[in-house]
Structure 1
Amino acid sequence: MALSASKLKVGDEHTARLVEDLKRTQIVQYAGASGDYNPLHTDEIFTTQVAGYPSVFAHGMLTMGMTGKMLTDWVGDARLTKYGVRFTSQVWPGDTLEAKATVKALTERDGVKLVEVDVATTNQDGVVVLSGYAEARVDP
């Protein structure tokens, strides 16, 4: 069921757990699906011994995709009109991610009701790993 503007107010929040204990396998599967085989995401030896990171880490777009799914699960399919993010911290194997969308404004453009939201995804330590915004069409 799609969101209704009449049932939303500024400050409303929607939260969802995106992943619990992110597995290396999920990161590698995303590499295959996206075609992004950057060794920082797939090659432990390169990542630790050459690049100096403690481990491989998730693609930013994997985090963005999981967060986007939370949004479409909430607002409905094909309703997002804008979605943009900034990657603020790395996501590591073993991380658990939670996303929150907070209603920032309810507007109308060309007779279409819209909800504008701020989006943040945090890890199990409360570190923000992604921040951004979205806009979606909503029912009246």
Structure 2
Amino acid sequence: MSDHCPGQELPVRRFGPQTRTDIVRYQGASGDFNPVHHDDEFAKAGGMPGAFSVGMLQAGYLGTYCAELFGPESVRLFSVRFSEQVWPGDVLVCAGRVEKTSESDGERQLELALTLSREGGGVAVTAAVVVAVPGNG
């Protein structure tokens, strides 16, 4: 992926289907043990249809997607916005596009717009990302 220009679509990457175990493992790693993410009855008592995923887990999937495409050392900015919940059983689809190219601090940079959608659903997370890339291509 050496020729980057505004409007270029990035390859799609799928994760999932997301399992309750994925969610609980993330809770253990992050220290976020809010029962709304693993206990259906607790979530229902709060007005939800059931337990739902931790938003930062989806942000992590977008981070993985970006790092797989450009390398973790290339990331200069990674900002996310949450817009829809993710549920156990959802297949998650990462996609993105090059919005702009620029030069900053002597390096070529790409501004990316990334999305994580629920297959058959809506966009759950968006990310504004800046990555450094080699060369002029």
Query: TM (normalized to structure 1)?
Result: 0.91
Query: Equivalent residue of 1:53, what SS?
Result: coil
Structure 1 residue 107 displacement after superposition? 0.3
Paired letter, 1:61: M
Query: Equivalent residue of 1:116, what SS?
Result: strand
Structure 1 residue 126 displacement after superposition? 4.0
CA distance in 1, matches of 2:21, 2:12: 22
CA distance in 1, matches of 2:101, 2:21: 40
Identical aligned pairs, as a percentage?
Answer: 34
Which residue, out of 68, 72, 76, partners 2:67? 72
Give 1:42's aligned residue.
38
**CA contact under 8 A between 1:115 and 1:135: conserved in structure 2?**
yes
Instruction: Let me know the Cα RMSD of the aligned residues.
Output: 1.2
Structure 1 residue 103 displacement after superposition? 0.1
**CA contact under 8 A between 1:84 and 1:133: conserved in structure 2?**
yes
Query: Equivalent residue of 1:78, what SS?
Result: helix
Give 1:96's aligned residue.
91
Q: In structure 1, list runs of 5 or more residues that go unmatched.
A: none
CA distance in 1, matches of 2:46, 2:53: 15
CA distance in 2, matches of 1:89, 1:77: 26
**CA contact under 8 A between 1:18 and 1:70: conserved in structure 2?**
no
Matching of residues 123-138 of structure 1 within 5 Å: 123-138=118-133
Give 1:16's aligned residue.
12
Structure 1 residue 77 displacement after superposition? 2.2
Structure 1 residue 15 displacement after superposition? 3.1
Q: In structure 2, list runs of 5 or more residues that go unmatched.
A: none
Which residue, out of 110, 115, 125, partners 2:105? 110
Partner deviation per Cα, 1:80-127 (whole Å, 9 max, x = no partner): 000111100000001011011100011001211101001111111141
Query: Equivalent residue of 1:37, what SS?
Result: coil
CA distance in 1, matches of 2:105, 2:18: 42
Query: Equivalent residue of 1:100, what SS?
Result: strand
**CA contact under 8 A between 1:18 and 1:66: conserved in structure 2?**
no
